[in-house]
Amino acid sequence: MNRLQELFKTKKKDILSIYYTAGYPNLGDTLKIAAALEHSGADFMEIGFPYSDPVADGEVIQASSKQALDNGMTLEILFDQLKDLRKTISIPILLMGYVNVVLQYGVANFCKKCQEVGIDGCIIPDLPMYEYEELYQECFIEHGISNIFLVTPQTSEARIRKIDGLSNAFIYLLSSAATTGKNLDVSENARTYFARIRDMKLNNPLMIGFGISDKQTFDSANEYASGAIIGSAFVKHLDLNNLEGSVADFMKRFR
């Protein structure tokens, strides 16, 4: 059982995950932000490895990815930065990014390096489910890496059940099919969607993401899921001149 699985076994509600981009604002900030997030009460975090064409991301995360790439961030450099990760960080950590980067690195090498540095799971939104199941699942399992699947309002019940069967940590419930950074939709349609997934009584817990930006939207997500994931609002709040202070200030909204 990895740290992520252990977290969801022991904590059922009010789980807070924070996403940020590796190598942003500066190339060497990756572990500084991780340490500040753990100290400020994050339950787990998602470190994004940047890609030149982040189609699912909104303007804020796109800009952070471009800056990280301009700073020189690569997957190789990220793994080097994370080699001492578990000397200082104890909470679960996921890597999040696009499949082209992983394929270029090599899926087997990627899983092996994740295990070596202490990564607990991955979110690769554009990795097709059938490819994961047929080609890569055994490799992920062998190295103790949980693969996280995304569900949108348009995802069929049959596909959701399939995802549930392939998952071993949590299911990422997108608040909409839009890009990141949009405000959480708490309309009647959205609440019906959240309740529909919750009432399916899936084996894996749910985390809601896309549009969580403040305590109100975080609490709304907690009505239907085990917790929520915050990305754009956090990245936007980071202050180059007061990195640790800006992390702490942001987390005070929730903890």
Q: Greater confidence, 44 or 183?
A: 44
Spot the catalytic one: 43, 46, 120, 185: 46
Residue 76 is a catalytic residue: no
User: Is residue 123 classed as helix, strand or coil in its secondary structure?
Assistant: strand
Residue 46 is a catalytic residue: yes
Give pTM, 2 decimals: 0.94
Report domain extents, the chain.
Answer: 15-251
Spot the catalytic one: 38, 57, 120, 185: 57
Q: What confidence score (pLDDT) does residue 176 get?
A: 67
Q: What confidence score (pLDDT) does residue 231 get?
A: 94
Nearest to 206 by CA among 187, 188, 193, 215: 193
15-251 CATH choice from 1.10.3720.10, 3.40.50.1100, 3.20.20.70, 3.40.50.970: 3.20.20.70
153, exposed or middle or buried, with CB in 10 Å at 0-12, 13-18, 19+? middle
Can you tell me the mean pLDDT for 157-167? Answer: 98
Can you tell me the mean pLDDT for 91-102? Answer: 97
- 11 has pLDDT over 60: yes
Residue 183 confidence class, pLDDT cut points 50, 70, 90: low
- 42 has pLDDT over 70: yes
C-alpha to C-alpha distance for 20 and 238, rounded to whole angstroms: 10
C-alpha to C-alpha distance for 118 and 137, rounded to whole angstroms: 18
Q: What confidence score (pLDDT) does residue 52 get?
A: 84
